[in-house]
Amino acid sequence: MPPDAPVTPPTRARRLGLLLAGATIALGAAGAAWFFRFAGQVQRDPGVVYRDPTTLDNLLKRANEAERAGDRASAIATYRFVAAVGTGKEWAPYGAAAQAGLRRLGAIDTIPGLPR
């Protein structure tokens, strides 16, 4: 066989190329649809990416450390964030812990949206 002879017939190579191009377009469209769906969810609920037990535990620890160190502003800001993100049935213990921290600091009435 001469070195410049095609290994596969051109029609088979063309079909394979079209199949790969179609798969690439389908995967790109699916990825874009998933991204826009996730972006819409984050836009409706910015705290969704932080609702993780490890993250909320770390934030509560950080707020406690700031409170013990006398950094009242950082502690209040972190407690407010956890209280805002920790809404819902399964995240209620985190929200309650954050509200308890705000009560200790005398800032419980500064959470937007809570009844006064």
- pLDDT tens for 49-59 read 777 888 899 99
Question: CA–CA separation, 107 vs 20, rounded Å?
Answer: 59
Better pLDDT: 65 or 85: 65
**What phi and psi values does residue 68 have, to the nearest 5 degrees?**
-70, -30
Query: Residue for token digits 């017939």?
Result: 9
Token digits of residue 103? 């009560």
- pLDDT tens for 16-72 read 999 999 999 999 999 999 999 998 888 887 777 777 888 899 999 999 999 999 999
Q: Which residues of 31-58 are buried (b: 16+ CB within 10 A; e: fewer)?
A: eeeeeeeeeeeeeeeeeeeebeeeebee
Token digits of residue 106? 């005398």
SS3 content of the chain, % helix, strand, coil (to 5): 75, 0, 25
